[in-house]
Structure 1
Amino acid sequence: MFTAPLSSPTEERVIHAARSPLSRRGGARALTALAAVAVLAAGWPGAARSAPRTAEPDDTTQVTYRGHEFTVPDSWQIVDLARNPLACVRFDRHAVYLGAPGDRQDCPARLRGRTEALLVEPTSAAVNAVTENRTAGTYRATADRIAVTAAYGEDRTAIQRILRSAGLPVAATQTEQAAAEPVPADATSFRGEGFDACTAPSQSAMNAWRDASQYGAIGVYIGGLNRACAQPNLTAAWVRTQYANGWRFFPLYVGRQPSADGGSCGGGCASITDPVPQGTAAADDAAKQAAALGLGKGSVIYNDLEHYPRGGTVTARVLAYVDAYTERLHQLGYRSGAYGSVSSLVADLVANAKTITLPDVIHFARWNGESTTTDPSIPADLWPGSRRIHQYVGDTTETHGGVKISIDRNRLDVD
């Protein structure tokens, strides 16, 4: 096993030599100890985005797990989750994660973006089956003793090639998730302090924070093409348990972003190119993901739109996208929310309030440390009367009940 110095205490970078239960065999370009160090030291995490979008046959590596062999580009990171249970399973960098994600993944709070990556978990399943969610850019597959989550951004064919290399079919059917029994209608209503985290915390972590923190609501990332973190804990049963324990929710959907060339994603996000059909598709998928978690009609689903440079085509696309998203959610019986910076999305919505269908609730980001839902940039007659969330601190780490989580802090007033 070869390791390299970490650039962040939250990240574990490991290249594995051949061993049981997993192994890595190099192709024509075998990975040596020196090469492993060079790969890991070469500007990570930026190396994930700068890696070639397609790999030549002699630039691949075979990764074996539970008897299944996947051929992946040899520049990809390989992470053994059994050895590194705190490793964050993230889909914004090229990587193969092997094993079950840990209960307390150490993820940065503000991961966004999507590229090609693979999570291969142990399971008792014995039948080959593959489904695909094109809107979310995700394949899910089962085979003998493994379950695979394969994410993709711009290069769907690369993920198809990797799945085929392990004998998994890619002529997949579209995912149709069954709706769960809904929790009560006040699940997305709350007044007080809340936090959001990239991946839904484990039950023990939620219990610790319920007893020891000031928070009563949690933002959960339910889906979207640019959702970067895996969500092993986020299930309908998890939602129902948290609701019964007194927690309330603000579900976030990280769909296409305003600009692939700038803003918070820094070139790592799939962008809005055809706003009306893409906004409509995002609403359809967001409603399905919410329903599968037990968040039924009447719930607010927040479209997460990260900071962007305003003006011209970008602003026009954002407004058309948000308008289509809101209109479609209303048709489906859900309420629309929108998350964004006061200097980009909120400014554009305020300036065009009379020309589009505004979201029902605004979730605005201004990191001024003030736990209030008023802001000088938002007129009092827009989103009045318990229709606001203020994200007032971002990218912070807190410990409650002995459990540390990277979060953003929010003040909610949503009825």
Structure 2
Amino acid sequence: MNDMNDMNATNGMDAPKPPAPPLPTAPPARRPRHARRRVLAVLAAAATLATVALLAAQTHGPAPGEAAGRGHPGHQSPAAGMSPAAGTSGADRTSGADRTAGIDRTAAGTAPAGAGGAAPALRYFEGRAFDTCDAPSLAVMRAWQASPYRGVGVYFGGRGRACPAQRQLTPSWVASVHALGWRLLPLFVGSQAPCVFAEAKRRYAIGSSPWSQGIREGGEAVRAARALGIDTASPLYLDMEAYRHTDTRCASTTLLFVRGWNREVRRLGYVPGFYSSAETGIRHIEAARRAGAADLPSVVWFARWRGAPALDTETVLQPLAWQPRARIHQYVGNVSESYGGRRLSIDRSAVDAPVARISASRAGARP
């Protein structure tokens, strides 16, 4: 991501990561729109069957020695990595690479129910997004309406942020940017894997009680989101920088933290998402999904800087994993772009996933 103090990133934020595969000579041909709709229908049916089979076969709680924490024991994201929207959208799904304006859709009744009762609707966005370390000023966001982007990643919380001040990031900014037509992707940079590659992130290593620490930071994320006017049924994306997932002890600690964070975020009515390098954190979380682990994220945001979006063809994910409407691909990082005379250093992402819902009391703010 672009939450960084240096420019050494190769596949995410500020950590050295395994090299990306060579850039393809030409983008793969797209299926016709009607064919993609048929594929989505099959994916949705498969997701439903997978949910039934998985829930019938097993229920997992926290690992031995960890407290059960709050929330329903064994609470699991739909189909353990299938989209929370499975079966709700038959719309054409594209990478967003050729869109200059994003598409908003609302799916009723698909968000996790919070402590208050019925689940509100998720709001989906399909198109291009960017993220940058500090939330830009409102004037910059107005100027960037001339860009091909309609989504923006904002680092709204977490002790591991490289740009913690976020002077622009206020409830008024959130409401105003939303009123301009921007769709927000809230990123939380909390504690990091003990085996994180980035030296600057090692001071934020997960401690000796990863499950309870994950629950605690999940609650912190929700409180920070609420304070900005980000409503329930919004995704909160946990940013876990690239780490040595082949280190068994470190991987176990990291997964317990992530699961605890997911459980608490979900219990409080929000949608847990997970950002990481495709070759490390995403490979690890996909292995956990295949193993039937509980409390996995509902959405994945994977970094593989290959120059072109590949939402549907990421090699570390099985084709049905986090489908449909639950993937974001960060496909380019650390590039400088200018629109309306305003220049930013950004990462580029293709999105077909949930975005923030802004509280009705603040959504009417003037841009």
**Equivalent in 321, 330, 339 of residue 257 of structure 2:** 321
- Answering whether residue 289 of structure 2 is matched by residue 350 of structure 1, we say no
- 1:300-379 alignment runs, 5 A limit: 300-310=235-245, 311-353=247-289, 354-374=292-312, 375-379=314-318
Contact between 1:193 and 1:215, CA under 8 Å: does it hold in 2?
Answer: yes
Q: Distance in 2 between matches of 1:189 and 1:390?
A: 15
**Once the 2 structures are TM-superposed, how far is the Cα of residue 322 of structure 1 from its aligned partner?**
0.9
In the alignment, what sits opposite 1:104? none
Q: Give TM-score scaled by structure 2 length.
A: 0.61
**Once the 2 structures are TM-superposed, how far is the Cα of residue 381 of structure 1 from its aligned partner?**
1.7
**Once the 2 structures are TM-superposed, how far is the Cα of residue 269 of structure 1 from its aligned partner?**
3.5
1:203-231, Cα deviation, whole Å (9 max, x unpaired): 11000001x20000000000101112120
In the alignment, what sits opposite 2:129? 194
Q: Distance in 1 between matches of 2:196 and 2:299?
A: 26
**Equivalent in 217, 226, 250 of residue 291 of structure 1:** 226
In the alignment, what sits opposite 1:389? 328
Stretches of structure 1 lacking an aligned partner (at least 5 in a row): 1-89, 94-107, 113-184
Contact between 2:192 and 2:201, CA under 8 Å: does it hold in 1?
Answer: no
**Once the 2 structures are TM-superposed, how far is the Cα of residue 189 of structure 1 from its aligned partner?**
2.7
In the alignment, what sits opposite 2:179? 244
Q: Distance in 2 between matches of 1:238 and 1:191?
A: 22
In the alignment, what sits opposite 2:216? 281
Q: Distance in 1 between matches of 2:316 and 2:179?
A: 37
Contact between 1:304 and 1:340, CA under 8 Å: does it hold in 2?
Answer: yes
**Once the 2 structures are TM-superposed, how far is the Cα of residue 267 of structure 1 from its aligned partner?**
5.3
1:325-376, Cα deviation, whole Å (9 max, x unpaired): 1111111000000000111111111111112321010001101111231212
Contact between 2:4 and 2:13, CA under 8 Å: does it hold in 1?
Answer: no
- Answering whether residue 171 of structure 2 is matched by residue 233 of structure 1, we say no
1:87-138, Cα deviation, whole Å (9 max, x unpaired): xxx9979xxxxxxxxxxxxxx99469xxxxxxxxxxxxxxxxxxxxxxxxxx
**Once the 2 structures are TM-superposed, how far is the Cα of residue 377 of structure 1 from its aligned partner?**
1.2
Q: Secondary structure at the residue paired with 1:393?
A: strand
Contact between 1:258 and 1:271, CA under 8 Å: does it hold in 2?
Answer: yes
- Answering whether residue 195 of structure 2 is matched by residue 257 of structure 1, we say no
1:280-309, Cα deviation, whole Å (9 max, x unpaired): 111101001111111111000000000011
**Equivalent in 212, 216, 219 of residue 150 of structure 2:** 216
Closer/same/farther in 2, CA of residues 335 and 400 from structure 1, 3 Å limit: same
Say how many residue pairs are matched: 238
Q: Secondary structure at the residue paired with 1:352?
A: helix
- 1:33-182 alignment runs, 5 A limit: 110=13
Q: Secondary structure at the residue paired with 2:204?
A: coil
**Once the 2 structures are TM-superposed, how far is the Cα of residue 262 of structure 1 from its aligned partner?**
4.4
Q: Secondary structure at the residue paired with 2:295?
A: coil
Q: Which has the higher helix share?
A: 2
Q: Distance in 1 between matches of 2:251 and 2:295?
A: 15
Q: Distance in 2 between matches of 1:257 and 1:292?
A: 24
**Once the 2 structures are TM-superposed, how far is the Cα of residue 187 of structure 1 from its aligned partner?**
8.6
Closer/same/farther in 2, CA of residues 219 and 191 from structure 1, 3 Å limit: same
Q: Distance in 2 between matches of 1:213 and 1:242?
A: 15
Q: Distance in 1 between matches of 2:123 and 2:168?
A: 19
Q: Secondary structure at the residue paired with 1:189?
A: strand
Q: Which has the higher contact order (CA 8 A, sep 6+)?
A: 2
In the alignment, what sits opposite 1:380? 319
Query: Which AA in structure 2 matches 1:396?
Result: V
Closer/same/farther in 2, CA of residues 186 and 242 from structure 1, 3 Å limit: farther
Q: Distance in 2 between matches of 1:234 and 1:247?
A: 14
Query: Which AA in structure 2 matches 1:325?
Result: W
Q: Distance in 2 between matches of 1:250 and 1:188?
A: 11
Q: Give TM-score scaled by structure 1 length.
A: 0.54
In the alignment, what sits opposite 1:156? none
In the alignment, what sits opposite 1:403? 342
Query: Which AA in structure 2 matches 1:289?
Result: A
Stretches of structure 2 lacking an aligned partner (at least 5 in a row): 16-119, 355-367
Q: Which has the higher strand share?
A: 1
